[in-house]
Structure 1
Amino acid sequence: MPLTGDYTWTETATILKLTIPLHNSAPSSVDLVCSSLFIKVSFEQYLIHIDLHGQVDDGQKGSKAVVKNGVLSIKVVKVDKGVWGRLEVEGKESGSLSKQDLSARREESLEKMRSKLDAMHERAKEVKIEEERGQVRKQMALEQAERQAIDDLKATEKEKAEREVYERFNEIKVEEAKKAAGAVVPKAEKVVKFAPKKEAKKAKKKYEDDDDFDDDIDMEEEEENQETSPSGSGGDEIWDISEVQGGSENPSEGFDLDRDALDDDDIDEEEEGGAMPPAPPAGDEIVDDDELDGSDVPAPRNSVRTTFKYTPRLFKTPARESTIPTEKEFVAKNRPHLHNHGLLNKEALDVSESDPTWLKGKGDDLFRNGDYLSAINAYSSAYEASPTMLPALSNRAACYLKIGEPARCIADCDDALRVSTEKQGLLADVPGGVGGFWLKLFVRRGTARCQLGDFATAAEDYKKAWDLNKASVDLKNDFEKMERLAAVSEIKKKGDAKLGGGEVEEAVELYSEAVEMDKRFVSAVSNRAGALLAMGRFDECIEDCDAALDMLANLGSTSGPVPPPGSDKRRDWVIATVCRRGKAKSETGKYSDAVKDFEMALKLVPEGRTKVRDSLANDVEKLKELQELQ
C-alpha cells in the first residue's frame, strides 16, 4: 500500500507551484503525470494525487519540473488568470464529489493530454519529413550545379581546342602559300640569339593571327625586303638574314619562323615589331652548348659542417609560441620544487644574482611595490642560494598570501617553522629573535587557513601567536574571532547536510542560528536564501540575497570563507545569488525586476559557458512573455 506524500503549494494569478520533498529518494525514481486538471506524482513508496481546482496549461513553455537538493519543484501556468484560494477541486475533501465523478474528470483530462501529445508527435513527424525533403532538394540542387559546372568546363575546353586547331590550319596555309611562291624558309642555328621571349611571342602572334602576312607590311618595308633579300624572292621574307648573320650571304645560316625558335629562352631584347638585333661585335665568339667539355668548369667548393647552438630554455616550446607571462608565473609558483634544475641555476650571471642577502633585499623592494610574483622569484633565488635564509622563506609565504595561494603559504610556513625549530641559531640576527619570527609565521599560516575555511586550526595558530605576545589586544581579538567563526562554520556545515537530505526547514533553522552568531558570514546567508526559495518563502529569500550581494560587493565587509575578488569562484557566487533573487521575484509576480536580475547574471557568465548562457537567455525570454501578459 503506497504512502501519501507531503507537499506544499503556492500560487499567483498566473502561476501554480508545488514543492514535494522526496525523502532521500533518487530523482530517477520519480514518475510525474501532469494534465490540465490532474497531477500525479509517485516515487518509491509514496504516491500523490492532486485533482486541481482550476485548469492549467500542460503544454505551456513556462511549465517545468525540477529536482534539486532532494526536493521536486513543479511549476505550471494557469489557463484562467486569478487566485484560486484552494488547490484541489471543491467537494473532494468533503466527499460530495463521488469517486466516479473524480475518475471521469481525471480520464477526460488525461485524454485531452494524450490527444495533444499525439498531435505533437504528428507535427514532429511532418516537420522531420519536410526537413528530409528539403535536404534532398538541396542535394539535388548541389549535384545539378556540379554537373552544370562540369558541362561548362567541357564546353570551354572544347572551344579552346577548336580555336587552337583553326590557328594551326591557318599557319599551315601560310606556309604552303609561301612555298608555292618560291620563298625559302631559313632555319636558325643554336649560335643565333633571338629577340626576347615576350617580344618574339608578340611577333609570332602578329603573323599567326592573320591569313596573309603581307597585310601587315607597308610598301616601304616590302621594297626594303626586296632589295636586301639574298634569294631574290621579293617581299615574302620577314627578316633580313644577312643582318642576323653579320653580313653572311648563305641562306642556310638563317632561321625559319617555327614555334621552337620563337619560344627560345635565350632571346635578346628587340624592338616591338619583330626586327632582329644587330650581329655581335667582332671578336666575340658565341659557343654552342654542345662544344662545352667541362674543362673550364671550376672545381666544387670544399664542404664545411656548421653546427647551431640554441639558448637553453626551461620550457621546450619555441619562444615565438610560448606564453612568457604564464611561464614566469609557473616558475614563480613552482620555484621551491625546481632547486636542482640546471637552467634555473645558470640564470645567476653575476654576484648580484647569487648573493642571498642581496636577493632577499631585492625581494623586499619588489614586495613593497606590489610586484608579488617577481618578489617570489627573488625570495626563491635567495633561499636556493642559502637554505639558511629563513626570512626569505617567511616573506615568500607572505607573497603567496597576497596572490591568493593559501596552500603554498601554509607549506612555506610549515617549512620555516620546522627548520627554525631544529636550528634556532639561524635566527640569532633576525629582528625580534625566534619569538618574533614565529609570531609572524603563526599569523600568516592562520590567515591562510582562514581563507581555506579551516577556522578551527586557524584559531590554534592565532592562539599560539597570542601566547607569544600576550600584550597584543589585536591578536586576542583575532583569536576570539577565529573561535567564533569556527563555531559558525560548524553550524553552517550541519545546515548544508540537512539541506542536502531534503530537510529544508531544519536547514533554515541552522542557517539562521549561524547568521545570528555572525551576520557577515556570507555563505550562511546565501545558502539560507536558497533554502527559503525551496520553501516558497520568496520575500525572505529576496532579503537574504540582497544582504549577500551587498557583502560580496563591499570588500572587507564579509567573514567566513569568501573567494578572493576577481576570482572565477567569487563570480560564480554572485551569479548564483542573483539567479536565486530573480527566481524569487518571478514567483511573486515581479517579472520586470526578475528580468533585470537574469540579464545581470547573463552578463556575468563567461562567453565559453554556452549552455548556462542559453539557459539564462531562455529564462529571460519567458519572463518577458509573462511580463507582457500582466
Structure 2
Amino acid sequence: MPLVVKDYVWEETDTMVWITVPLKGVKSNRVDITSCKNYLKVSYPPYIFECLLFAPVDSAKGSAQIGNGAVTFKLYKEEPVLWKTLQHPDSVNKEIMKLKREEAHEEIKNRLEEQTKQNAETKREHEKLAISEMMKLEEQERTRISNIKESERQKATEDLERWKEEQRLLAEKEKERMLEAQREQVEAEKERDREERRKQRKARSANIFEKQGKDGKAPPRENGKIIVNHTPRAFPTPVRESQTEQEEEWLRKQAEAKRSIELSLDADLKEEEKNPQWLLDKGNSFFASGDYKSAINAYTHAIRMTPKLPSLYSNRAACHLKIRNFFKCIEDCSKAMDLLFPAVPQNASSRCKALVRRGTAFCELELYVEGLRDYEAALKIDPDNKALATDAERMRQIIQATD
C-alpha cells in the first residue's frame, strides 16, 4: 500500500497557487504526475500525493517542475479569490475521490485527443508554408546566382587594379632598400672609425695605470665580510608567498589536537586502543579491505578520544558514502571543513577531498546545485584535475536540462 505524502508546502495569491511536494530521495525518472483543473496526483513508489483542489484552476496555463528533490506546481486560478485551504472538503469522501480520478483521466484523454487534432492541423499549415517558402527560396537562388556573376566581374576588375598598385609599391620598396643599404654602409664605416679610436684610448689608459702600479700610488683594496641572517620558517614556502597568520593558526590547531591525544582514557582499553593514530590506521585498513562498517567504528572511537583531527571525519565520510549514508557523509565532510580552517597550502589536498565527497553525496540525493557548488570550490584548489572538471560540467548539463 502506498505511503501518503502529507509534508507538502503550498502558497497562494488571489490568482495563483504554488505547491511543493518533496520526493524523499526518489529519482526524478520514477515520478508520475497527473493534473487537471481540480485534481492533482504525484506518484513515486512507495509514496503518493493526491489532492482534490478547493476550486478549479486553468490546466492549460499551469506547469510542474521537477528538481532539487521536489516537484513544484505553478497553477493559475480560474476565479481570483483566496482559498484559505488547499484541499476541497469532499476530499475525505472516497466515492467522490474515485469519481474525480475518473473525471481527471477522462479530461486528460480528451486533452490529448484535442492536442492530436491540433498537431495535425498545425502540420498541414506547416506543409503549406513550406511550399511557399520553397518557392521563395528558388527565387532567391536565381537572384543569388545573378549577383555572383556580377560580383565575379567586379572582382576581376578589382584584382587587375590591385596588381597594378602592388607593382608600383614593389618598385618604391626596392628604391628604399637601395637607399637603406647605402646608409648602412656609411654607418659601418663610421663605426669602424669609432672602434679604432676606442682602442687607441684604451692603450693610453693601460700605460697610465701600469706606471701608477710601479710607483705604489694606487694601493690594493682591503678584504671585506658580509653576514646574511635568514628568518626560520615552519613551512617550506617563502615569506612573501605564505599567509603567516593563517599558517600559525593552523599550527596551533594541530598542536592542540596532538595534546588531546595524551589525555587518559578508560583503563579497560588496551594500550593501542587508546592511540587515535593506531585507530586511524586500523580504520584505513578496514576501508581498504571493503569492511566499511568496521572502519566507521574505528574512526568513531578515535573521534571520541580526539575530536579535532579532520582526517578522522573525512575518512569516516568516505565510508558513509560507500554504504550510501549520504546525510551522514555530508555532516562529516562539513565538520572536516570546519577543522581544516584556516585554508593554507598544507591542508589543500584534505580540503579538496572533503569537498568532492560532500559534492558526490549531494548529487546522489539529486541536489545538483549544492553538489556543483562543492565541485567548483574543489576545482579552485586543484584547477588541473580533469576528472573534477568533467564531473562539474556533467552537473551543469543536468541542472540546465532540469530547468
Structure 1 and Structure 2 fold alike (TM over 0.5): no
TM-score (ref. length: structure 1): 0.28
Larger radius of gyration: 1
Compare relative contact order (CA 8 Å, sep 6+) and give the higher one, 1 or 2.
2
Q: Which has the higher helix share?
A: 2
TM-score (ref. length: structure 2): 0.40
